[in-house]
Structure 1
């Protein structure tokens, strides 16, 4: 059987790096899109044994679709991971909403025009959660039937994290609607915060991706600082997220078409993380935030944390379990400690 080829958008990103890794290990050939071919150099160097199965194409702007027609040629499936993840915005429409929605639709149109039927997109728990009801801080089990209630009418009244959440909801909605109209077999992967050792090139502290920066803040800051705010205690290991993308494109159509797969390894707070790091990585104790005197003084002590119903991912994508927070935390911190040695 000939090797199948998957197009991975945003190939130089944190999640995409793992998605590429997972597809190559599963025997696929991978074509990745990058804004600049220079961004692909470290990925090419990372996979000397896959030189014949890993190529890159320059797509400067997914919104305009420039370069996508060539990118999809010869591909059997698409894993669309590219979407802006930043809270540093000035114009919510221009900075987050349009790149997320229009970029997604550009990719899907190019896939349809090329005759590609199978697509998986990287969505988020952000598209699922209800912030007015407490988001992750509520006694509730979120399922694939839950959608973020925010609308485009709300966009100018929302803080940046909520704008990001809205962008993921609108992009995912648009993707499922497009797929239904044009007969694509499309599924979405919906993890909460994604952590894990970064594989992408990071040359300075400013280049640490947003989710990794949250963990890096535990060991990088002023002495005596407080533990950070627990914005989102739910998480998934990036390796589980990547595996879900591969399995979504390898599963039977009836198991994935139109489906939303919640991926989650559980939950932990920054107090949990700080305490665990102090016990497991004593050399880092001087770099950690200051914990309250007792657990009942933690910022969110006693508050319920929502759960995510991952039963569909287990049933249709073959997951028995997900990587836990302790392993995720330690491996991420260990990697960041090594990476920072290269910073000027």
Structure 2
């Protein structure tokens, strides 16, 4: 499906991945309608407009209001469009009311645009799921597109898994041409506010982790995830799910790779004994009573002990011709973006 003259919609366009995807699509000649909650909020849209103008593509970018929870708005947005990139999602691992704040918005916010796309006859939909929907079990074996997460210690993992399953069910029911990308932890540039993933990098270089918990990460660059979405849209044979991870690392090894790029980074040098992780959970809970933002929960700690973050992305390489960039480039650009966001700290 060639890009020339194609008009597509990108939801969540002011988010980390959404922004990277909009810029990638503009760079390849697409006409892009980018949806955000409030187009008039320059704090959340100026970076997108400025980037489009900087690449000489401002006339091919239209930023409009789109509320995932409002089923009625999507028909007009998608009318006459060739494709939909359903990127917008709730990305949060902590909530006092996970059903209301994470699970329900994830599911409803997935189905509303997809249902409207089917009603409007949109030719193809690329949906952003997550490696979390693939899971980390069984331990020690590389997970593939056929694996699904069945261990829901975190509301976020349940929300992503259930949302994707319902997206596939809706596609089957309505005859939607649906392709799904399952990225790992997204680093790289193009974020105007921190995500839980970019906060990890910020905390790493600032020395916020005195020790490394036994937990693995599948890391991927925002620009590479964006290109994979576009390729999944363009390539006729790109069916099903596509796992996106450039490298799978344990926390301690991830810190070493960051240190190699940024020698001043105060990364953890030793692994945290499991009893100490549990003590830290109690301390984090106590600090939450005094108004400090919590970073841990029982569910998060429980998830650390389940499975491994090893994924087989060979299908993405073969079908999409996907070639992620070196980790060092991703680390450097993420650090630079963190410092720009944080005022050069």
Q: TM-score range by the shorter chain?
A: 0.7 to 0.9
Instruction: Give the C-alpha shift of residue 42 in structure 1.
Output: 2.6
Instruction: Give the C-alpha shift of residue 298 in structure 1.
Output: 7.0
Contact 1:7 1:33 in 2 (8 A): yes
Cα RMSD (Å): 2.3
1:99 has 2:83 as partner: no
Distance 1:306 1:229 in 2: 14
C-alpha spacing 1:306/1:279, structure 2 compared with 1 (3 Å): closer
C-alpha spacing 1:290/1:55, structure 2 compared with 1 (3 Å): same
Contact 1:108 1:175 in 2 (8 A): yes
Which of 65, 70, 85 aligns to 1:58? It is: 65
Instruction: Give the C-alpha shift of residue 316 in structure 1.
Output: 1.6
In the superposition, the TM-score normalised over structure 1's length comes to 0.82
C-alpha spacing 1:263/1:299, structure 2 compared with 1 (3 Å): farther
Distance 1:327 1:230 in 2: 25
Structure 2 residues not aligned, in runs of 5+: 275-305
Distance 2:38 2:127 in 1: 22
2:238 maps to 256
1:40 has 2:48 as partner: no
Q: How does 1:6-45 map to 2 (within 5 A)?
A: 6-37=8-39, 38=41, 39-45=44-50
Contact 1:262 1:308 in 2 (8 A): yes
1:148 maps to 149
Contact 1:193 1:232 in 2 (8 A): no
Distance 2:89 2:211 in 1: 29
Instruction: Give the C-alpha shift of residue 304 in structure 1.
Output: 9.1
Q: How does 1:208-247 map to 2 (within 5 A)?
A: 208-221=194-207, 226-247=210-231
**How many residues are paired up?**
307
- Report the 3-state secondary structure (helix = DSSP H, G, I; strand = E; otherwise coil) of the residue aligned with 1:260: strand
Contact 1:140 1:306 in 2 (8 A): no
1:154 maps to none
Q: How does 1:185-200 map to 2 (within 5 A)?
A: 185-197=177-189, 199-200=190-191
Distance 1:278 1:145 in 2: 35
C-alpha spacing 1:342/1:215, structure 2 compared with 1 (3 Å): closer
Which of 7, 11, 14 aligns to 1:5? It is: 7
Q: How does 1:172-321 map to 2 (within 5 A)?
A: 172-197=164-189, 199-202=190-193, 208-221=194-207, 226-252=210-236, 255-257=237-239, 259-282=240-263, 284-285=264-265, 288-292=266-270, 305-319=308-322, 321=323
In the superposition, the TM-score normalised over structure 2's length comes to 0.82
